[in-house]
Structure 1
Amino acid sequence: MWALVAAFALGALVSGGLVFAVTGPSSTERMADQIRAEAALRDKTQVKDLTTLARTTRDRLAPVLEGLSLAMPGGDAAAGPAAVTSADVGKWREAVTAAVASFADPPSGETATNVARSTLASAVRQLATTVDAYAAARDLGGPSAATALERAARQRADALFTWSVGATALDAVNVDVGYGHQHVFLQTSPGDGALTPDDEPEGHHS
């Protein structure tokens, strides 16, 4: 009797082991799961770092955008180029140069995070070009100056729009990795045509 029970138990153990061996994950599948988990963790860290960088950049660029808005066609005031000094332009150049440098040598990450980072970096480069174009326009006179300023104003609008696309992408990846909404948008006016943040509160996960 006991021999029969022992034989049955041994058979069950062997059978169960065989079933697990057949239906359990293979070494390749386990390795793939580990790689996916490591990639997800790495992406979450990169999203956090990118969001911090975007906030720092936004604060760094705020005085530049405010100055350009006051001095350029279509801005908040018709002060004209004379309202801006060479020292002001020098400070703007320092700010945008530092911002461009902060996006240099980006890490390789998940596609959505790379897209958000690249779009924000492109916006910063466009704004640096705007400052250069504005500085060049100040050295011109007559119709040429007006034309150059108009071109610089369009470049500024393009930079603001590009940043808004990147900020929207950054918001989406933050939600995807579990940080919730992060609205890192530049200050814009309705006429700029830029995308605006949604109505979800900061940190909300829906």
Structure 2
Amino acid sequence: MTTISRSRQPTPVRRASRDRVLALLAAFALGAGGAVFWMTRPDSIEQMADRLRAESALRDKAQIRALTEVARTTRDQLIPVLDGLTRALPAVSTDGVAGPGVVSVDDVAGWQKAADAAVEGFADPPSGETGTNVARSGLASAVRQVATAVDLYAAARTMTGSARTAVTDLAVRQRADALFAWSVGATALDALNVEAGYGHQHVFLPTTPGEGALTPDTEPEGSHHP
């Protein structure tokens, strides 16, 4: 008699065991893949930090541009004031003529009004990046010192003798300190503009070599050389 062989079918028990093994392997694969995903996915905190840094950089660029415009306006306001003080203060006069007879009371009142307006231009400053805050603070300090120099000179005009000389000397020193403080702030602002991509912006007040203030570099206005 010829025997016909039949392929053995897995028993229900063996089939169940195989299904469990396949299920475990699938679960392991999914679990390992999930672990890799969770280990390599961008961290949400880091993404938020990157977004905040980008927003801060854009805000700072806008503040640099705005501060540069304020500095230009302020410089134009202060140049007539400083020119007047140069004529009036003996230690800085360039034409050999100095003293209260050179300028009038109305001249001094006009300087005070211009200086006060310049101070007001730096009132209530926005908070920005450290470099921008430092540049703004340097310029604001210079403006306040110009205003103080004018007030000292105005006070000296009402005095006589040694008191007048002493207060006039203080006005001379205050004016020199104001020019130096402005030159520091203008130098910092120039560097910020280059870094922000706006190019060199030389918002300096005119000074003489003997006054010790920083002076602008020789790069052309608007150039992007560091």
- TM-score normalized by the length of structure 2: 0.81
How much has 1:19 moved relative to structure 2? 4.7
CA distance in 1 between counterparts of 2:194 and 2:32 reads: 45
How much has 1:163 moved relative to structure 2? 0.4
Correspondence for 1:147? 166
Q: Which of residues 205, 221, 224 is equivalent to 1:186?
A: 205
1:119 lines up with 2:138 in the alignment: yes
Q: Provide runs of 4+ in structure 1 moved above 3 Å.
A: 14-21
Using the TM superposition, name which of 94-103 and 142-151 deviates more. 142-151
Equivalences for 1:39-78 in 2 at 5 Å?
Answer: 39-75=56-92, 76-78=94-96
Q: Which of residues 44, 57, 65 is equivalent to 1:27?
A: 44
Question: SS where residue 83 of structure 1 aligns?
Answer: coil
CA distance in 1 between counterparts of 2:119 and 2:208 reads: 24
Aligned residues of 1:112 and 1:169 also touching (Cα < 8 A): yes
1:199 lines up with 2:206 in the alignment: no
Question: SS where residue 43 of structure 1 aligns?
Answer: helix
Aligned residues of 2:146 and 2:175 also touching (Cα < 8 A): yes
Question: SS where residue 82 of structure 1 aligns?
Answer: coil
Structure with greater proportional helix content: 1
How much has 1:176 moved relative to structure 2? 1.5
RMSD of aligned residue pairs (Cα, Å): 1.9
Aligned residues: 195
Using the TM superposition, name which of 158-167 and 78-87 deviates more. 78-87
CA distance in 2 between counterparts of 1:85 and 1:64 reads: 13
Structure 1 unaligned spans of 5+:
1-13
Identity %: 63
Question: SS where residue 203 of structure 1 aligns?
Answer: coil
Aligned residues of 2:146 and 2:178 also touching (Cα < 8 A): yes
